[in-house]
Structure 1
Amino acid sequence: MDFIWILFAFICGLAAKTFSFPPSIGYLLAGFILNFMGYQADESLTILSNLGITLMLFTIGLKLNVRSLFKNEIWLASSLHTLLWIVLTVIIIKLFTISAIGYFSKLDVLTATLIVFALSFSSTVCVIKLLEENGEMRTRHGKLAVGILVIQDIVAVAFLVIATGKTPTVWALALLLLFIIKPVINKIVDHVGHGELLPLTGFFIALGSYELFELVNIKGDLGALLVGIFLSSHLKATEINKSLLSFKDMFLIGFFLSIGFSAIPTLEMLGLAAMLVLIIPLKFILFFGLLCLLKIRCRTSYLSALALSNFSEFGLIVAAISVSNEWLSSVWLVILALAVSMSFVITNILYPHAHNFFSKHKEFFHKFERNEYLAEDSFCQPQDAPIVIIGMGRVGMGAYRAICEHDNKLAWGLDAEPEKVKLLSEQGAQVYCGDAEDAFFWEKVNLSNLKLVLLALPNVIDSVNITNQLKSAGYQGKIAAIARYDDERSQLEELGIDKVFNFYTEAGVGFADESMGLIQTTN
């Protein structure tokens, strides 16, 4: 990558962060500026972009429970959304055609359907990046959005197979041998340890699976996703994911830059792209309505639908293939690139304010909620425990065990991840599944029974959101939280949290206190 690309990416990313926008918006802008200045993307940028997407799909797989894809709220919502979107949006575009608006006037029904199909997908890169930045990958709405994205990716790969005429070879059946050699792969992963060899192992498996699937004429990105799912049950899956996080984020900069390099727009093209962006609210309405219809809580439906309300980079791939097959004018590649970019910007601007917006208008959204919920969204509060620990990771479990040493009936835990709750419950812990950032959740909890809330959450945004929800619900007890950095600690203290523990400082103090006991015992 040329230094000029890094320079502009850094400057624009820093500018975006200064104005409280995600850095990815700055990277998109940097690509357009460099393109306008006459710079062209070379092979190294393409390689960097592909690496980022491959690593991202691999890490998604590491965190994904494949059984969740067969839930109605995922596969059925995704399928119905695509069908309804195509029908309704084709009608809208044909109205543009009748109105003789620009390039729309030259579209026939088949071409319009192709464009609408390309726009039916949501951006995997944009949504995952958004959820990660807000610490919501493991929440109910985060997992719901990711599951729908995976279904869309599978449909996308199927389209590419049909459009390119690239069918899997007979050797694709040999991929089933992976299940036979899985014990060997697990032992290798166990043996690499926890040092610098671990991220290299992640690279090897992710890129190796990409190449392996490409050899048998199956899209490599799908291979990285499937092999990630294949390894998701391994004890080191989370550790591998964390070791690849910074590499993935760095390589994805290439992806955002490459979108900017894809087009030099005219004013007319900008106007047409803006018209396509105006259809995005339909995507939100369809997702929200379908998820509510499938008995998903209104807040979960709202957040999932909002995250998915954008256009996908896959639209550019569809357009590129269509142009090469002379199904579509090359002008539409530029228009779709602009529409995709605009949708990224809009999603990144709106989503950080989603929780506050929902809190202010929750009664409106509640009108669309079904009277009955799915079993995993139901909650029964323990009545005799005055302490709740939110976030049952290592810190949360450590706090829970420490309290239980005094009295095993004092505390109960709350976590948004059903698999974790099930595992801890089997181990005898009093842990329940629930989304503490949901305003309706706290309205159904008897807050008078709670005296202390411990926020054992690594993401300060989550702690802020939950504190605001507790205050809105009228909670009068004490709140304690953890923070990783001094600026986060100050932010939480200004919010009114009674006690904030610096994660690293308090760990050091505890370590010193325990160690000093060794000397005192000796004396």
Structure 2
Amino acid sequence: MLVILISFAFAFGLILTRVGLPPMVGFLLAGFVYHMAGLATPAGLDTVADLGITLLLFSIGLKLDVKGLLKPEIWASATSHIVLSTAFITGALLLGQHWLTTPLLDMSWQTMLILGFALSFSSTVFAVKVLEDKGDLTAFYGRIAIGILIMQDLFAVLFLSASEGKLPSLWALSVLALPLLRPVLFRFLDMAGRGELFILCGLFIALGVGAEGFSLVGLKPDLGALVVGVLVAGHKRASELSKALFGFKELMLVGFFLSIGMAGLPTWDMLLAAALLCLLLPFKCGLYHLIISRFGLRSRTSLFATLSLANYSEFGLIVTAIAVGQNLLPTEWLLVMAMTVSLSFAVASPFSTSSERVYRWMSSWLKRFECAYCHPHDAPIDVAGAKALIFGMGRIGSGAYDELVKTYGRAVVGVEHAPERVDFNRADGRRVILGDACDTEFWLKIKADAALELVILAMPNHHGNVFAAKQLRNLGFECHVAAIARYPEEVEELAELNICAAYNMYEQAGGGLAKKALESCSFKP
């Protein structure tokens, strides 16, 4: 059965990617089809799904800026949306009970309030996957979206503790002493070296220390993985650990999406209920955009963050399961919620992946909601006078910067969308500004600057490099453009956009190493 399920997942994932949807939608569909075929659920699938969520939250913790959660655009936006969205969806359910004659809505207003609360959440799994695929986890709008989701996760933990009618044990106070373990965890990472032992060290910290440790004291295991991830985020190898666990996390998340689709066999009434609930998504998104924009975010940033949150959360399944267990809801609502979450993923995916196109279509209307005040991290960028621009100030971008300074001096400007990387480069004396190469308004800002001679696209995300190259071509820039790529097909795609130099960093790495070796040999006596 496991081989058949993997075959279903691969086939539907491949088909859905061919039509422009993310593979996760295919995995959901594969789960439904597999279950409708009457095939048995492979043993251990739920365990794999739970491990996927745990590792996902651990990886979020490795990249999390705790101070960022204390910013008003995070905590105030999350809190306001929970309250307003719960009230709106509960009201919609009450109207549906009044107008529609269906046993699915035969429930008390208190139960509808619980459903409204569950449907007010957005999916952490979906948002992180989409942001990872777009390379925007560290973009300003990506950090806003992730911050709101983490605040929602904290609300979820409080709700689950209250709904189960029990409080964590007194030993739960011991988690306050976790910072004392930080030197020990750092030492483990230093001693683990590389390879399989390093991966096992990461799994031990995430599952053993974090998830299992929190579970023993009556707290949510996933929260433990998140907290421990935050603890080790300051280690110099935290980014390396995140990359090492990436394959495990991705594979186990496939099990999560399959398990959602295998929740049961739907009926037409359930499908109709799920479709009607998905019709509420535009109103939920409107609340997100309206609230987020009140904190000085431009319409583009507010829209991108909103589209990342334009779905229902897998947490709704947990809340529904609790309500069913307490006989507040009929069992059919588990299937309704599973289909609602699945459909919301399918509806949200094309909008989120085509967010720039959506913004261009709606920009004139959305700008009406902008505040007069502009958030410092979201202000328009001025690069007037720059002769060379470098997009992406990672290791490759910073190396290119240091080389170009020899020719252009202070007329070289680096552009980076991650604030911490901007600060790092500025500390090293580089002229770097905070900006997003995938921001249409950024390109309109530098449209009239004729001094620009060279642009280097050194972003790790190929889609970002392609978008920037298209903007340069569409706006009529006469400068030379060079870009990095990882695969031959990426080099070909960039070449079709009239890039004067597409540098395959993997192919060229060997040549660069040999050149360096020959240069060093030439100085030997």
SS state at 1:414 partner = strand
* CA distances 1:144-202 after superposition (whole Å, capped 9, x unpaired): 11111100001011110001123111112222332123222212212212322221111
The one-letter code sitting in structure 1 at the alignment partner of 2:265 is I
SS state at 1:326 partner = coil
The one-letter code sitting in structure 1 at the alignment partner of 2:289 is F
CA distance in 1, matches of 2:383, 2:351: 36
2:5 paired with 1:8: no
**Contact residue 31 and residue 262 of structure 2 kept, 8 A:** yes
* CA distances 1:249-308 after superposition (whole Å, capped 9, x unpaired): 000011011001112100111011100000000111111111111111111100110110
The one-letter code sitting in structure 1 at the alignment partner of 2:21 is F
The one-letter code sitting in structure 2 at the alignment partner of 1:487 is E
Q: Hey, what does 2:148 align to over in structure 1? A: 148
SS state at 2:413 partner = strand
State which drifts further: 57-66 or 94-103: 94-103
TM-score of the two chains, using structure 2 as the length reference = 0.96
**Contact residue 418 and residue 434 of structure 2 kept, 8 A:** yes
Q: Hey, what does 2:134 align to over in structure 1? A: 134
Q: Hey, what does 2:87 align to over in structure 1? A: 87
The one-letter code sitting in structure 2 at the alignment partner of 1:477 is C
2:499 paired with 1:492: no
The one-letter code sitting in structure 1 at the alignment partner of 2:414 is G
SS state at 1:263 partner = coil
Count of residue pairs the alignment pairs up: 523
**Unaligned residue ranges in structure 1 (runs of 5+):** none
Q: Hey, what does 2:229 align to over in structure 1? A: 228
CA distance in 1, matches of 2:25, 2:402: 43
Q: Hey, what does 2:349 align to over in structure 1? A: 348
CA distance in 2, matches of 1:227, 1:95: 44
CA distance in 2, matches of 1:335, 1:380: 46
Superposed CA RMSD in Å reads 1.7
**Contact residue 384 and residue 449 of structure 2 kept, 8 A:** no
CA distance in 2, matches of 1:478, 1:85: 49
Within a 5 Å distance, the mapping from 1:388-407 to structure 2 comes to 388-407=389-408
TM-fit CA distance, 1:33: 0.9
TM-fit CA distance, 1:43: 4.4
CA distance in 1, matches of 2:105, 2:119: 19
Query: Sequence identity of aligned pairs in percent?
Result: 39
CA distance in 2, matches of 1:103, 1:285: 30
* CA distances 1:353-399 after superposition (whole Å, capped 9, x unpaired): 11122124322222222222112223553544311111111111111
Q: Hey, what does 1:449 align to over in structure 2? A: 451
State which drifts further: 493-502 or 54-63: 493-502
SS state at 1:389 partner = strand
**Contact residue 89 and residue 119 of structure 2 kept, 8 A:** no
**Unaligned residue ranges in structure 2 (runs of 5+):** none
Q: Hey, what does 1:241 align to over in structure 2? A: 242
**Contact residue 388 and residue 452 of structure 1 kept, 8 A:** yes
CA distance in 1, matches of 2:194, 2:292: 41
CA distance in 2, matches of 1:461, 1:415: 15
CA distance in 1, matches of 2:223, 2:320: 20
TM-fit CA distance, 1:105: 4.4
CA distance in 2, matches of 1:159, 1:40: 33
CA distance in 1, matches of 2:173, 2:232: 19
Q: Hey, what does 1:198 align to over in structure 2? A: 198
**Contact residue 400 and residue 413 of structure 1 kept, 8 A:** yes
State which drifts further: 507-516 or 241-250: 507-516
**Contact residue 351 and residue 358 of structure 2 kept, 8 A:** no
Q: Hey, what does 2:360 align to over in structure 1? A: 359
TM-fit CA distance, 1:19: 2.4
CA distance in 2, matches of 1:101, 1:77: 36
State which drifts further: 174-183 or 247-256: 174-183
* CA distances 1:397-420 after superposition (whole Å, capped 9, x unpaired): 111111123443131111111111
The one-letter code sitting in structure 1 at the alignment partner of 2:478 is Q
CA distance in 2, matches of 1:131, 1:49: 20
Q: Hey, what does 2:19 align to over in structure 1? A: 19
Q: Hey, what does 2:515 align to over in structure 1? A: 513
Residues 62, 200 of structure 1: alpha-carbon distance in 2 compared, 3 angstrom cutoff: same
Q: Hey, what does 2:172 align to over in structure 1? A: 172
Q: Hey, what does 2:48 align to over in structure 1? A: 48
**Contact residue 263 and residue 338 of structure 1 kept, 8 A:** no
State which drifts further: 215-224 or 92-101: 92-101
Residues 380, 269 of structure 1: alpha-carbon distance in 2 compared, 3 angstrom cutoff: closer
TM-fit CA distance, 1:464: 1.6
Q: Hey, what does 2:471 align to over in structure 1? A: 469
TM-score of the two chains, using structure 1 as the length reference = 0.96
**Contact residue 97 and residue 106 of structure 1 kept, 8 A:** yes
**Contact residue 58 and residue 206 of structure 1 kept, 8 A:** yes
**Contact residue 269 and residue 334 of structure 1 kept, 8 A:** yes
TM-fit CA distance, 1:42: 4.7
TM-fit CA distance, 1:101: 4.2
CA distance in 2, matches of 1:173, 1:115: 31
TM-fit CA distance, 1:470: 3.5
* CA distances 1:402-457 after superposition (whole Å, capped 9, x unpaired): 11234431311111111111122122111111112111122233532322111101
Q: Hey, what does 1:162 align to over in structure 2? A: 162
CA distance in 2, matches of 1:420, 1:101: 57
The one-letter code sitting in structure 1 at the alignment partner of 2:129 is K
| Correspondent of 1:481 among 456, 473, 483 | 483
**Contact residue 447 and residue 475 of structure 1 kept, 8 A:** no
Q: Hey, what does 1:214 align to over in structure 2? A: 215
State which drifts further: 485-494 or 502-511: 502-511
**Contact residue 40 and residue 261 of structure 1 kept, 8 A:** no
CA distance in 2, matches of 1:22, 1:386: 38
State which drifts further: 129-138 or 375-384: 375-384
